[in-house]
Amino acid sequence: MASIMSIEAGKYNKFLAKALKEEEEFKAPEWVEFVKSGVGKQRPIEDKEFWEKRAASILRQIYINEVVGVQRLRTRYGNKKNRGGKPSKFKRGSGKIIRVILQQAEEAGFVEKSEGVKKGRKLTAKGKTFMESVNVSSGEDSK
């Protein structure tokens, strides 16, 4: 199997999200359909598979960067806020969504808190093997 780094991010995240959907720990809370994914957004989340897709993306970011904290992920998932007549300004994404996903990943045993110089979450051995076992070549995605 090819390395996670060599696979296109969108394609890998789609298959990882499908694999996470089968994990019982990764369930979207009932409030997710009423909240925005950041202050820069104007409407609530409409994608039914948003939770699994965001969890897959967060796990991939942890895999690539080794140790990642909530603030860094908030910056990663932020966007520009339309302020009317004033110039747009960058705003960070929702921290609650990221924290809940990280807590679910901890319950599943995929991530753990890092106690080194860099604070944040890092992948466990179980998380690495899970992510590397996702079979991307099983079915080609038709658009």
All domains in the chain, ordered by first residue: 6-133 (1.10.10.10)
Between the CA of residue 89 and those of 29, 36, 70, 80, 118, what are the distances in Å?
30, 17, 21, 5, 28
- Model pTM score: 0.87
Q: What is the tens place of the pLDDT at every residue in 43-91?
A: 888 888 999 999 999 999 999 998 999 999 999 999 999 999 999 999 9
Residue 33 DSSP symbol = G
Distance in angstroms (rounded) separating the CA atoms of residues 136 and 91: 33
**Single-letter residue type at 16:** L
Length of the chain: 143
Distance in angstroms (rounded) separating the CA atoms of residues 134 and 128: 10
**Single-letter residue type at 103:** Q
Q: What is the Cα gyration radius of the chain?
A: 16
Say if residues 76 and 14 touch (Cβ distance below 8 Å): no
Q: Which whole number is the average pLDDT over 7-33?
A: 89
